[in-house]
Amino acid sequence: MNSEVIVNVCMGTGGIAAGGDLVMEAFIGEFAAAGVENATVKEKCRLHKVGCRGFCAKDVLVDISVDGNVSTYQYIQADMVPRLVRDHVLGGRPVDEWLVGEDYHVFHENQNKIVLADLGKIDPESIDDYLGVDGYKAVEKVLTTMRPEDVVSTIKESGLRGRGGGGFPTGLKWGFCAANESDQYYIICNADEGDPGAFMDRSIIEGNPHSAIEGMVIGAYAIGASVGYVYIRAEYPLAVDRLNKAITDAKERGFLGEKLFGSDFNFTLKVKLGAGAFVCGEETALIASIEGERGMPRAKPPFPANKGLWGKPTIINNVETFANIPPIMIKGADWFASIGSEKSKGTKVIALTGKIRNTGLIEIPMGMPLKDIIYKVGGGIEGDRLFKAVQTGGPSGGCIPQQHIDLAVDYEGLASVGSMMGSGGMVVLDETDCMVNISKFFLEFTQAESCGKCVPCRLGTKRLLEILTRIVDGEGRKGDIELLQDLAEDVRDSSLCGLGMSAPNPILSTIKYFRHEYEAHINQKKCPAKVCNKLLTFFIREDMCVGCGMCIRACSVSAITGEKKKPHKIDNASCIQCGACFDACKFSAVLKE
């Protein structure tokens, strides 16, 4: 074996869930059997884990590079590894039928990667891999050639805005904090990402934890903080493990600790595990949690930049924000400001999910049209169905309808149609989705996650959910739409924190753009998308029923009768519209209307 071979196996959460750990073990076994463990050969053949490759729908993704010629494979399982080693690693012949298709290349070509640039290329558990892509060069430059105020000015000039949801100018926040007179300053990385369908920050930590650490060191220097915290939920064990290892390695190499790069700057970084409360994504609730109190928000002002952790000036930014800092310091503010739109600079990492072909983690320039995200990067709607809406910004975001498909995706664009950027979740919906039911789904989440401190959120979200539940159950009343609007606006205008203020967004946006669906549920007792079971009638087409009996076994109230191998029937008087028969039928004989 004379060629230099590099094999990368996706070992992010998605890759492991698809069998990445088994694929890794299979490669180790095949390499041992082929004698690659031999010291001479091993220098020319490297196998290592990498973080999320982005196109999660095609996991397990495997790269095999022979003398710099990279081939990417999709849907790899452990039993496919022997052939990959025999034919490609040892024989130099790619296995064409397992290679990714054109859609994989289109998916990546339409992105602009800054934060995700090295994910899928480096081993997240190897500090040497990070150093190999110029890791910690930015903090070295900052600590040896720049003053704290120079760093703040650079971030201001770059136009970087916080990627955690609010979009507040990062440099401005850092400047506010540094301007306070204090004997102690703190910096916190908010990695408490809990939105349904969101996995941006978690994937960054799993795939390149040092990028966020380096950004935090630079931020700490800019404001004068000697202590920092990464607040991350305990239910992300892979991210937690890789983060802890990265911090340990950074300490050993002198990138954390005392007198960094020969300067007088000292910085200690700690990890604080959260218990999974969504409200702790709100900065004052997060601070309370670190202090050992119940995670509940407080009124602002004072803002954390003036009075935060233990009453000291504190900066809080999320993982993606900090991961943007090193490339800005290396390439300059003008470079970053040249990307994106007029008021939203740079790129945005988005978790693209829902009824779309190419689900995964993407990074697009701010201002990219929604249509391009869905049909170029995302590959269009699954099953060639019609695009209906996209829900952005997590459970507190709004639903953007088809009529705004040319909308520029940035902070201002999303806000103009009643939605928000949030942390970057994007759930695509098609013609089979019921917008009333979607609204109910997100209200269930925010109502359950309400901390209960303020009455508008605690009781208001509960009443909103009760009305929505009544509507989807076929018990909607005249005036319910107006009641929903009035109550939603009251909750929005009077809640204590951002969770309560934004919780009504799904309701307000769906009423605005899909009022006819609410009216159909209430007035006609029909669900146009045929999703709300209690508004549907189930029946069996005799010409399609083979009499297999699956529907009978699935029915919990014995509403279905029929003999074996003969058409069955549903007694609608006994049917409770649970939909179990529809799900159980393998011959599409059970219909609903």
Q: Tabulate helix, strand, coil % of the chain (nearest 5).
A: 45, 15, 40
Asked if 503 contacts 519 with a C-beta cutoff of 8 angstroms, the reply is: no
Give the separation between CA 72 and CA 450, rounded to whole angstroms: 44
| Contact status, residue 499 vs residue 449, Cβ threshold 8 Å | yes
Query: Within 13 Å of residue 111, how many CA atoms lie on the same side as its CB?
Result: 25
Domains annotated on the chain, with CATH:
5-100 (3.40.30.10), 127-337 (3.40.50.11540), 347-430 (3.10.20.600), 435-524 (1.20.1440.230), 537-592 (3.30.70.20)
Helix (H) or strand (E) holding 298: none
Q: What is the DSSP letter of 56?
A: G
Strand partners, 363: 349
pTM of the model: 0.92
Give the relative orientation of helices 137-145 and 209-223 as an angle to the nearest 10 degrees: 10
Are residues 308 and 176 in contact, defined by beta-carbon separation less than 8 angstroms? no
Peptide bond into 302 cis (omega under 30): yes
Q: What are phi and psi of 463, to 5 degrees?
A: -70, -40
Distance in angstroms (rounded) separating the CA atoms of residues 270 and 15 = 28
pLDDT < 70 regions, the chain: 1-2, 36-44
pLDDT of residue 260: 96
Strand partners, 39: none
Look at residue 46 in the predicted model and tell me its pLDDT. 84
CA atoms within 13 A on the CB side of 247: 18
The predicted structure's pLDDT at residue 499: 85
The pLDDT assigned to 1 comes to 53
3-state secondary structure 386-400: CEEEEEECHHHCCEE
The predicted pLDDT at position 112 comes to 95
Strand ranges across the sheet with 186-191: 268-274, 227-233, 186-191, 314-318
Specify the pairing of strand 425-430 against strand 347-354.
Answer: parallel
For 306, the 3-state DSSP assignment is: coil
Q: What is the pLDDT of residue 43?
A: 55
